Amino acid sequence: MKLHVNVLFQHNGENKITYVNEPPHEEAPRLFIGGTKDGYVVRYHHSLCEEMVKDLARIIGSDSNPPLAEIIQILNQNRELDSVWIGPAYIFPYVKSSATKAVKITPSNKEMLLPQFPFTFNEFELRQPCYAIVQDGMVVSLCMSARQTDVAAEASLYTMEDYRGKGYGVDVANAWAAEVQSQGKVALYSTSWDNFSSQSVAKKLNLKQFGTDIHIR
Give whole-number Cα distances, 51 to 18, 55, 65, 69, in Å.
Answer: 18, 6, 22, 18
Angstrom distance (rounded) from CA 102 to CA 142: 9
Evaluate if residue 106 carries a pLDDT over 80.
yes
Contact present, 104 and 129 (Cβ < 8 Å): yes
Provide the pLDDT confidence category of residue 92 given band limits of 50, 70 and 90. Answer: very high
CATH number of 103-209: 3.40.630.30
Please, what sign has the CA dihedral across residues 116, 130, 15, 42?
positive
Strands 130-135, 103-104: pairing kind: antiparallel
**Can you give the pLDDT at residue 110?**
96
Pinpoint the residues of the chain covered by CATH 3.40.630.30. Answer: 103-209
Whole-number Å distance between alpha carbons of 172 and 167: 9
Distance (Å, whole) CA 173 – CA 11: 28
Predicted TM-score (pTM) of the model is 0.94
- Tens digit of each residue's pLDDT (9 = 90 or more) over 133-190: 999 999 999 999 999 999 999 999 999 999 999 999 999 999 999 999 999 999 999 9
Greatest CA span in the chain, whole angstroms? 58
**Considering only CA atoms, which of 191, 216, 196 is closest in space to residue 88?**
191
Among candidates 131, 133, 142, which has minimal Cα distance to 178? 131
pLDDT for residue 101 is more than 80: yes
- On whether the CB atoms of residues 112 and 139 are closer than 8 A, the answer is yes
